[in-house]
Chains A and B, each alone.
Chain A
Amino acid sequence: MTTKQTLTFVLMDAPFESARTTTAFRLLHAALTRGCDVNVFAYEGAVALSFAKQAQHPNAVHGRDVAQEDHPLSRNWIASLMAYAHERGAALNWVNCGLCVDERGVGEAIEGVRRGSPADCWKMAQQSRATLVIPTK
């Protein structure tokens, strides 16, 4: 019988800014696909990844309306990953640093995301097989 592994990922980048965000989401998807339980601790700008008020916009330069532009939103990616985890019977525990949330005024997170503190990050790392920190430049 194999023991289910838990992995922790610590994210720092704000949405709409860096390829690191895309890579981080790919890593989360890969971990869930392998059946791992996954912890995410988001701090600094990364707390806005799950902000519920993110909105799509049209692209006037290219003459596309909102639907045609279909601009990707990180909150939707997170929701999709949470649904994927549920389908696979895995856990995706997403915690936002509360101080970072308050600084940025992004307290309205999507369902399934909870507010925490750096102490949660420490606990997650303690309980995980491995932890990967993806910092900004």
Chain B
Amino acid sequence: MPGYLLIESRDPFESTGAARTYELAIQLRAAGHDVALFLVQNGVLAVRSGARRTELDKVIRTQIEVLADDFSLRERGISSASLIAGVQATPIDSVVERMNAGWNVLWH
């Protein structure tokens, strides 16, 4: 069964919409689907260690794969070394990889 890749592009400190995406990821996982969360643009702002991110922590605790676009991280001065545990810096190619595998990919 194809999984779900949820792409979150919005700043979680500016929009409550990001939290809704996190919730959707958790609910899809609870329903038995493979799920990954890909953070891009200002969506990566939550993964800097020291940032307050209660909602994203719930996703990580659910053991959903959390990926952060390496280009977006570099643009915002967030080094790989400063990422919180449970988040992996990755090239945008990983989105294409999931699409090629037939995953459902949703952008927010």
Contact = CB atoms under 8 A, between A and B. Distances in A.
Interface of A: 5, 7, 19-20, 23, 26-27, 30-31, 33-34, 36, 129-135, 137
B86 interface: no
A7 B107 contact: no
Interface of B: 7, 9-10, 40-42, 69, 71, 91-93, 95-100, 102-105, 107
Contact of A132 (B10, B41, B69, B107): B107
A133 B106 CA distance: 7
Given A20-B9, A129-B99, A132-B99, A26 B104 contact: no
Interface centre among B91, B92, B104 (most CB of A within 10 A): B92
Contacts, number: 54
B92 A27 contact: yes
A7 B103 CA distance: 12
Nearest 10 Cβ contacts at the A-B interface:
A130-B99, A30-B93, A30-B96, A132-B105, A19-B41, A31-B96, A134-B107, A5-B100, A26-B92, A7-B99
B92 A36 contact: no
Given A30-B93, A30-B95, A34-B100, A20 B105 contact: no
A36 B98 CA distance: 13
A134 B95 CA distance: 13
